[in-house]
Structure 1
Amino acid sequence: MIEEVTAVDEYTVKFILENPYAPFIKNLAMFATMIVSPEAVKEYGEDIFKNPVGTGAFKFVEWVRDDHITVEANEDYWDGRPYLDELIFTVIPNNQTRLLELEDGNIHLMEGLNPTDIKRVRANEELELLEAPGLNVGYIALHNEKKPFDNKQVRKAMNYAINKEEIAEYLMGGQATVAKGPLPPTIWSYDDSLEGYPYDPDEAKRLLAEAGYEDGFEFTLRTYSAPRSYNPVGARLATAVQQYLSQVGIKANIEQLEWGTYIEEGKAGKHTAAFFGWIADNGDPDNFLNVFFNSANRGSTNRAFYVNEKVDQLLEAAQQITDEAKREEIYQEVQQIIVDDAPFVFLNHMKMQIPIRKNVENYVLYPTNNKYFHKVWLAQ
């Protein structure tokens, strides 16, 4: 993709690309594509990630694995010294424990709020609930190269069999919207003509019979335990899905794995079906569609191991066009194909919700879920 990189002067870098690549500028804003200090790489080598060096508002102090990360104000930050002297990111695995710590004033803000605790937060005079639409999607990746999910009719049946409206309303506490396809409605190029897969167990049974599975089938459904921002209820979602599938004759045996193992085996395709999700890195549709469905990403982010040559061609064409109107046309065509192929069970888009102490000032909730503390301060 990148043919050459040159430093024009102290504050300017020039990239020469091998081909036109429309998402390039937005991709540069992602954490994974930030320019790294060559001196730091030489000094730390493979341990560079344990000794991060950057130009941000805060400087790294220490990282105690599974406990906390501490950073301090960068006195020489180009946009002015931050108001806060120090930031501590504390690991608290349990949502309830985390909320108790927030209520007691031991922490100032948190992620991972249970939908059932929303009223509790709103009733607390010392807390505020920040809310915004999310750029995310939760889904079940159906391994398209493994039986029975190599059959499109079966994949469609899976989508019809699950009552996503009930999940969004009751399990997610009304804080989710039903996914009708792979893109959240908050992103440009979203196709609002998509009907998705409304709950229709009779249609699911018909499709199963048509595919030769009139009596249903049995498979292993993988899940994780810890809540995610696109799935705040963790493994409870798998239990709900299991119950819906049983009503159309599909037996899902739930297998729960530790997160690190879960991701590695998901990349390797060791699952038959597994829960995953995605939060936008940069707000470009390519960051969803190319990530999920480009066949070149099998073994990485294409967890459905989905292959469609036309989709590959369309995604490549959209990357090389800078006219957003034309890109939008292509992405809407891709969405139609994807929904018809049903490589995923499209589940939901979660609203972003961050409870904070009311003395935290100027904290902004970003749809990409990035955290910026440069302009944040604590009121007395």
Structure 2
Amino acid sequence: MSVLIRRLCLTTAVSCMSWLLVACGPQRLPSGLVYCSEGNPESFNPQLVTSGTTIDATSHQIYSRLVDYDTQSGKLVPALATSWAMSDDGLSYRFTLRENVQFQHSKRFTPTRPFNADDVLFSFKRIIDTQHPYHFVSRTGYPFFQSIGFSEQVKGIEKINDHEVVFYLTRKDASFLSNLATDFAVILSDEYAQQQLALGHPENVDHFAIGTGPFTLVQYAKNEYIRYRRHPDFWGEHAKIDMLVFDITTKSTVRLAKLIAGDCSVSALPKAGELPVIKQHEELNIESQPGLNVAFWAFNTQKPPLDDVRVRRALAYAVDKQNILRAVYQNTAIEATGVLPPASWAYANNKGLVDYNPQKARDLLKEAGIKNLSIDIWAMPVARAYNPNALKTAELIQSDLANVGVKVNIVSYDWSVFSQRLSRDDYDSVLIGWNADNSDPDNFFTPLLSCAAMQSNNNRSRWCNPEFDAILDSAREVSDQGERKVIYQQAEAFLAEQVPMLSLAHAKRVALTRSDIKDMQLTPFGGISFAHTSQAQEEAN
């Protein structure tokens, strides 16, 4: 029995007998890969959430989009749409759809036709049409799409024929195509949805996913594993591995131990302090890539005294970001001087606008009449690419604020409880962040800080400023990149003045692999994909 088969059996503890029969019979040994992931997905439909853990488990494994981003150039490339054209007035986009694309099948669903325009209409009308029978099946709404005002932006979607659709917009928007390339803009099966609706179980569409991506979802056991198999009829280059397993391992130290022992071949989100250990093992590699992300400390601007900009500026002045970079990131990140990272084409170095200055912090608190201030900082209990250790970050901020007379209480819960309570908006402040899923600068501003994002609970600062929204609107209305860059820099300056949040760091995307892993591609944006990853075939014992 091969070492791979033994690992997979130990990881999943189910369906092992069928795999052993394959390994012992005359058939070719299956190839597979075990990925030690950091947590449970909240759903198997990325339209319904914004968490990176869900995106990793779903978007690039199970689904496809109309358009994609090239991982090397960052430019838009065809996917389920082979071509597209914008009207002269910029208010409509016509897409020509790829033919003979096959949906996955499962024990619940066997498709009778290829992908067509009906699937595009279902996937997006569900989001924008409150009368659609699937609109309210999602109890969480559609947070990314709500945060960018997608239903107000898209006036209608028309099916021209089975292989052509047109999106009609209410206004020009230079970020429209980029938003269709995000990890959230996946295409679902209308036929599957109608079947499940007729059976009285529409929620199955989001739980037992069917897509057109490189892998088919096989089984999910919460807190244990997710199993996938290669989609044999995938429209693109077929995955190089037959089986993929997400081994759900919440503790970073346990993920590292499993990687060293060979129980997983790729491991997510190592803590910076673990990287020197990796270098001691010749069979392990560190994969890294500058990230389009930002870690930030968001202030709930709806709660006094955080509704006073002087208090927010004081708290920002009190934080020693360089100390956080040393202790938490250990040379795997750079200081954030604004929302946009250096990898963004609209980046400008805003250092000096809100630098570490405890005396300024004390003076501003005194000017605001604040004495004996005590605030809560909610810290994520899980690692993320933008912040490998939010609890440690909170402890460092707690120490900094004590130096200016502010008491900090650190709050954390299990991730599922944390995300649910966060949506209730009863926190003082939260350490969180954002990993962009496309290269358009708007992807940092509108989903995080617009008034629409406040309504969708994606705006963690609870900050709605019509003047700021107008700046973002003007940036989307022009197509010239130089003009847009100037406008986004105005947006950065506005944020530095109002301080709804304090940007802390832009981190590298880091993954750990065993040396026999080939073509592991980390991109600056988006979720992880194993579509092109392979592992050298292990010899049977």
Normalised by the shorter chain, which TM-score bucket? over 0.9
Q: Could you tell me which of 247, 260, 264 is aligned with 2:403?
A: 247
2:184 matched to 1:27? no
Q: Could you tell me which of 251, 270, 280 is aligned with 1:113?
A: 270
CA distance in 2, matches of 1:127, 1:13: 47
The answer for the alignment partner of 1:322 in structure 2 is 479
TM-superposed deviation, 1:56:
1.1
Equivalent pair of 1:216/1:248 in contact (CA under 8 Å) = no
2:297 matched to 1:140? yes
Equivalent pair of 1:311/1:334 in contact (CA under 8 Å) = yes
Match of 2:362, SS state, is helix
Q: For residues 38-62 of structure 1, give each alpha carbon's deviation from its aligned partner in whole angstroms, at most 9, with x where no partner exists.
A: 0111223111122211111111211
> Aligned residues, how many?
379
Q: Could you tell me which of 378, 381, 384 is aligned with 1:222?
A: 378
TM-score normalised over the length of structure 2: 0.68
Q: Indicate how the Cα distance of structure 1 residues 130 and 187 shifts in structure 2: closer, same or farther if over 3 A, else same.
A: same
The answer for the alignment partner of 2:21 in structure 1 is none
Equivalent pair of 1:177/1:348 in contact (CA under 8 Å) = yes
Q: How does 1:281-292 map to 2 (within 5 A)?
A: 281-292=437-448
TM-superposed deviation, 1:11:
4.4
2:424 matched to 1:268? yes
TM-score normalised over the length of structure 1: 0.95
Equivalent pair of 2:183/2:526 in contact (CA under 8 Å) = no
Equivalent pair of 1:219/1:251 in contact (CA under 8 Å) = yes
Structure 1 spans left out of the alignment, 5+ residues: none
CA distance in 2, matches of 1:28, 1:219: 39
The answer for the alignment partner of 2:8 in structure 1 is none
CA distance in 1, matches of 2:329, 2:341: 16
The answer for the alignment partner of 1:351 in structure 2 is 508
CA distance in 2, matches of 1:287, 1:368: 11
Equivalent pair of 1:159/1:346 in contact (CA under 8 Å) = no
Q: How does 1:329-344 map to 2 (within 5 A)?
A: 329-344=486-501
Match of 2:184, SS state, is helix
Q: How does 1:42-191 map to 2 (within 5 A)?
A: 42-44=194-196, 45-191=202-348
Q: Could you tell me which of 361, 374, 378 is aligned with 2:531?
A: 374
Q: For residues 211-247 of structure 1, give each alpha carbon's deviation from its aligned partner in whole angstroms, at most 9, with x where no partner exists.
A: 112x441122222322222111231211111111001
TM-superposed deviation, 1:194:
4.3
TM-superposed deviation, 1:146:
1.1
CA distance in 1, matches of 2:439, 2:243: 30
Q: Which residue identity is paired with 1:124?
A: H
CA distance in 2, matches of 1:88, 1:324: 41
Q: For residues 47-97 of structure 1, give each alpha carbon's deviation from its aligned partner in whole angstroms, at most 9, with x where no partner exists.
A: 112221111111121112221111111111112322100111110010000
TM-superposed deviation, 1:302:
1.2
2:173 matched to 1:14? no
**Superposition CA RMSD, Å:** 1.6
TM-superposed deviation, 1:122:
1.8
CA distance in 1, matches of 2:512, 2:498: 39
TM-superposed deviation, 1:323:
2.0
Higher RCO (CA < 8 A, seq sep 6+) = 1
* Higher alpha-carbon Rg: 2
Match of 1:374, SS state, is coil
